[in-house]
Amino acid sequence: YNRIGAEAGAAYRVLGKPLIAMVQGYCMGGGLLTALRADLRIASEDAQFGVPAVRLGLGYGYDGVKALVDLVGVAYTREILLTGDRFSAQDAWRMGLVNRVVPASELESTVRGLARTIAENAPLTMRAIRVAIEEAGKDAAQQDLARVERLVADCFASEDYIEGRRAFLEKRRPKFVGR
């Protein structure tokens, strides 16, 4: 179980594309850990979140705890893990666990619209941003800032940068190609 969970976590880290979690209903335990791996989390107003490990006698591993601490901070992580309680979508938003809460009837269209917006952006820039965010979450001794600098330099040397400037001047949407 632990090996499979670690392999799944590694697969999310190397996905290379922005990932949006669309949450409706219960997002508990392993489901919450999976949602934490997404870049953005959008929840319906009826969603509920929690980690009931303490009520089941389960150990909750470091990676899951670290992901939660990195997202919502120590105080909310303690509340979530030590109580084993369920939290409403509004509570999750207040904690920083989700980016947005929308009516259930608007969840899918909201997520699809967000995905379209992201997909229209410059792929090289998104990659540089995602890597920079990942590096920012690491201890200074573990950071690979040279990699971030290389990715940023690649953006400035790209066809997409030329297209982005041209589209801006021509007052039109850019058509990025990822080069």
pLDDT tens, position by position, 105-136? 999 999 999 999 999 999 999 999 999 998 99
Q: What was the pLDDT predicted at 166?
A: 94
pLDDT higher than threshold 90 for residue 137: no
pTM: 0.85
The dihedral formed by the CA atoms of 72, 65, 63 and 98, expressed in degrees to the nearest 10: -30
Q: How far apart are CA 84 and CA 54, in angstroms?
A: 6
pLDDT higher than threshold 70 for residue 81: yes
Q: In Å, what is the CA distance from 49 to each residue of 57, 88, 113, 126, 136?
A: 19, 6, 24, 28, 26
Q: How far apart are CA 89 and CA 106, in angstroms?
A: 14
Q: What was the pLDDT predicted at 127?
A: 92
Q: What was the pLDDT predicted at 10?
A: 77
Tokens of 28: 């508990």
Rounded mean pLDDT of 151-174? 94
Rounded mean pLDDT of 7-13? 77
Banded model confidence at residue 1, pLDDT cuts 50, 70, 90? low
Q: In what order do the strands lie in the sheet with 48-50?
A: 26-28, 48-50, 86-88
Q: How far apart are CA 152 and CA 146, in angstroms?
A: 10
Contact 110, 93 (CB under 8 A): no
Contact 35, 41 (CB under 8 A): yes
